[in-house]
Structure formats: structure tokens, C-alpha cells
Amino acid sequence: MTTPRLQIKGLTKRYPSVVANDDVSLSVQPGEIHAVLGENGAGKSTLMKMIYGAVQPDGGSIAFNGETVVVRNPQAARALGIAMVFQHFSLFDTLTVAENVWLGLDAQMGLAQVQAAITEKAQAYGLDIDPLRPVHTLSVGERQRVEIIRALLTEPRLLILDEPTSVLTPQAVTKLFVVLRQLAKEGCSIVYISHKLHEIRDLCSACTVLRGGKVTGVCNPQEESNASLSRLMIGAEPPALPERAEVSGAVVLAVQHLAVPSEDPFGTTLRDVCFEVRGGEVLGVAGVSGNGQAELVRLLSGEDGRAQAQMIQMDGQSVGTAPPAVRRLAGLHVVPEERLGRGAVPSLSLAQNLLLTRTEAVKPSGWIDLAALRRQAAHIITSFRVKAGGPSAVAQSLSGGNLQKFIVGREMAAQPRLLILSQPTWGVDVGAAAQIRTAILALRDAGCAVLLISEELEELFALSDRLVVMAKGRLSPSLPIAEASVETIGSWMSGLWEVTND
């Protein structure tokens, strides 16, 4: 038999309140693309961090190319030929893309050589990025591209990818899969974590399923269906989304000729953006990250107050210059794409994080009713099935998917008149994604106007009544969902819509 590229036996990791991994064993062959499936909090990230040396196991062993190794840190992992792309990024905001990549290469290369290598890899893999841009100017999607390129530049023998396609167009996903298959053909082993079951079935030839920190199944995903994989992962199939209701509401949000220059030299200038969202409908916004979506959300939320008053209207009232608190009083709530640092303060408890956008527990005198605040947080934790140690758990202690469920629940429970969601199910498991999507449609059916910004085309087609595409700061005309196709939307996301409209 071929010596496994990676073989782990009985890996265990305990924390004071949870056993993250309990006697986990896994084998990956040379040239194999091996999926690791599990719901949020199943232990996938902890397992990968132990393989990469970012976390030390409490028990068990790791063998690489047949030799037992102790991976004491990521530098030791890279020396072995292990590279990892984290779902939550490890980048220095004040440095450029090239400088961040340079720090992670552990190689004797000059900065100019690294810049050239980044450009070459970016073009080869369809991951457009400027090596001279400071990281703090990048969107979430662009930061993930940096992480992918940095990993590929190490020429790894084992590549760990955590949700690598969440920010790519369908065409770019296809191109990335070609690259991954070529890497595998050349002998590189790939551990692939994704909640997109169709991707796993298309790409991977082996799959290990985790639930509650334990291995609950091993299979060939190409011989499984989405339903059977879902049952292995969460013990059930996700519920079907409710039928689409008729749209008959009045205009809640009207954006008229919104044109605002970017304050950041690397940002995106919005050019003559016009659209409407009615009560009881979901307007989906497709587009590759970094094409103006973040700027649009900041202008709509009031974080950026540079729009003219009449450019943004809610229920007929001009709010383009109104601060965020005023817009919230009018019924606007926002789920941002960045969980930690924008959606939640990492070091504060879940209860305290409610106060970012919810004031029900604040008395008229200004004092906070702490008991009411905790009850409110507990209700959201229960309603959205958030795995957390209660209202006092700090935000950064939650897995990414569970923190996302709490943030979405915080905004939805406010019964908004207008809800803006940016990447609401990014990195969320199939069961939690179905729960969030069902809640979105329930709000829509209750008359809420929903603006859904997502790079998940499957999600946009499942939830939207109409679709628009954002490309280079401009917005396409809207398409009724019945007239939209993946091919058309995908080509517009690649910038072809702008070419045909100039």
C-alpha cells in the first residue's frame, strides 16, 4: 500500500468547557483531495490547527510521509511542506499584500521577487489582487485571495483549504478546481473543508465526517447525494425553503443616482447606483467581493455619511445624511460581512454585543437593565440554536458559524422594516444556513424589505425575487429570478456586463 501523506491517530484536544476533538483518526493519500465535513463547532478548525501546528494536541500522533512528527508551530509545518488557508485570516492590516505574503514564505526572496510571484500566481489562478495594496483596504473576499496565493507560493505537499470558494465567481471556482486537480495529479494532497456539498461531491474522492468532535463517518462523496451527506453531517436533511410569496408591498428603500467617490485610493467609487426594494421582497446583489458592495453597505447603513440626502430614501423620507441611530429608528438593521470587529466586539460578551444595535434593555434614565439584557441574549441563543456558553460567553470564543447565527439573530429579532445582509451564511454549515435562509424568508413574508448581498449564487437564486449584479461600482438592471441564469449572472460578475453596457 502507498504510504499516506498524512496519517493522524487518536488526536484529542480538550478545553476547559469542551472536548474539541475526541480520539480523531484520519488518513490522506498522496494526490488525494480529502474533504472534512461537519457542522459549525464540530471540531474541524481545531483539527486543522493541530495538523498545522497552531494548536498542540493533548493526545494522539501525527505522521507525515510515514514518519511520526511533532508539529510545534506553523513554521515547522511549512518546513514539512504543509500549507493552510484559514477561514479567519492571519494578515497584518498595516502591511501590503506583498509584505504579508513575504512574512509567511520563510524563503530567501526579495520583496520585488515576491511581488512578481504574487502577480504571476494571481493571473494563473484567476485570483485578481494588487500586491502593493495595504491589507486594511481589502474586502473580506480579497483577503481570502491573499491567503490562497500565499499558500500556493509555498509549493506545498499538503494543502489545507478552509472554505476557499466562498468569495469566487462560478467561473473562478471552475478555474480553481482545475488548479487543485492539477496539484493533486502532481502528488500534492489536499484537505478540503467546505459547506458546499455539491463542491465536495464534484472535487473530492474521500470524506471524513465530524460531529461533536468525533469521527462519525468516512465515505466517497462521489457515491453520495447532498441529502445523504447532510444526514451524515447533521443527522438530518435541511428543511426545504418555503414557497415564494407574491410581492405586493410599497417601496421601502429607494436609491437614486448614488454616486460617491472612494475615500480610499484602493476602494471602489460608486457610479450612478439606482435600485428599489419593496416590502415583502428580497433583492439579491451578486458580484465578486471588492466591486463596491462594502462601500454600498456603509452608505446605506449611515456609517459613511457622504451621500446626498435625497440619494437614499426610506419610506419616502430622505435619509442619505442621517446617522446610523436615526436609520435604525426608522427600521433599518444591517448584518455586516465582517463578524469580528464590525458585527461584534471580540472581547465583549454576547449580551454586551447586543447593545451595538439594540437598546430595549436601556432604561429611559440611561441605565442598562442587565437582567433584561441577558434574557434578550439568551432568547436569541435559544431561537437560533447558537452553540455558546450562555449570554456571558465572549464573542471571540464562538466558532465563526455560531457567531454569525447570533449576529443574524440579533438583527432579525428587532423586527426590521428594512434588513440588509452581507454574506449572511459565509462559513456556516448546511443546517445553520438553512435556518438563516428560512428566517430571511419569514421576515420577507411578514412584509420586511430585504437587501441580500452574497457571493453564493445558489443562495441568491434560492432567496431572491429579483437579482442585480455589482461590478466596478456600478449596478446592473434587475432581473426577475425566473429570467436569471447562473451563466448570465456569472458573466456579469466577471465584469462582462460593464463591457456590454459601455
CATH class of 6-234: alpha beta
CB 207 within 8 A of CB 192: no
Same fold? 6-234, 251-501? yes
CB 113 within 8 A of CB 102: no
CB 8 within 8 A of CB 62: yes
Going from N- to C-terminal start, the domains of the chain cover: 6-234, 251-501
Q: Please state, in angstroms and rounded to a whole number, the distance separating the CA atoms of residues 202 and 187.
A: 19
Residue-by-residue DSSP string for 419-472: EEEESTTTT--HHHHHHHHHHHHHHHHTT-EEEEE-S-HHHHHHH-SEEEEEET
CB 376 within 8 A of CB 360: yes
CB count within 10 Å of CB 155 equals 13
- How many angstroms separate the Cα of 205 from the Cα of each of 256, 319, 388, 404? 50, 53, 34, 30
Q: Please state, in angstroms and rounded to a whole number, the distance separating the CA atoms of residues 32 and 103.
A: 29
pTM score, whole prediction: 0.72
The amino acid present at 15, given as its one-letter code, is Y
How confident is the prediction along the chain (502 residues), in pLDDT tens digits per residue? 689 999 999 999 998 878 999 999 999 999 999 999 988 778 898 999 999 999 999 999 999 999 999 999 998 999 999 999 877 677 898 999 999 999 877 667 889 999 999 999 888 877 778 999 999 888 766 887 888 889 889 889 999 998 787 666 666 678 788 888 988 998 999 999 988 888 899 999 999 999 889 998 999 999 999 888 888 887 777 777 777 656 668 999 999 999 999 988 878 999 999 999 999 999 999 987 788 999 999 999 999 999 999 999 999 999 999 999 999 999 999 999 888 888 999 999 999 999 999 999 999 999 999 999 999 999 999 999 898 989 999 999 888 788 999 999 999 999 999 999 998 987 777 788 888 999 999 999 999 999 999 988 888 999 999 999 998 899 998 999 989 988 888 778 766 664 444 4
pLDDT of residue 39: 83
Q: Please state, in angstroms and rounded to a whole number, the distance separating the CA atoms of residues 225 and 231.
A: 10
pLDDT of residue 240: 74
Q: Which of 304, 335, 330 is nearest to 317 (CA)?
A: 330
pLDDT of residue 501: 45
pLDDT of residue 245: 59
Q: Please state, in angstroms and rounded to a whole number, the distance separating the CA atoms of residues 118 and 121.
A: 5
Q: Which CATH architecture has domain 251-501?
A: 3-Layer(aba) Sandwich (3.40)
**β-pair partners for 73:** none
CB 226 within 8 A of CB 258: no
CB count within 10 Å of CB 76 equals 14
Q: What letter does residue 132 receive in the DSSP assignment?
A: T
pLDDT of residue 246: 64
Sheet of 270-278: strand order equals 270-278, 251-260, 312-314, 317-318
The two beta strands, 189-193 and 158-162, are parallel
Q: Work out the angle at residue 424's Cα, subtended by the Cα atoms of residues 418 and 426, and round it to the nearest 5 degrees.
A: 165
Cell numbers for 309: 440626502
Q: What burial class does residue 156 get, using C-beta atoms within 10 Å of its C-beta: 0-12 exposed, 13-18 middle, 19+ buried?
A: buried
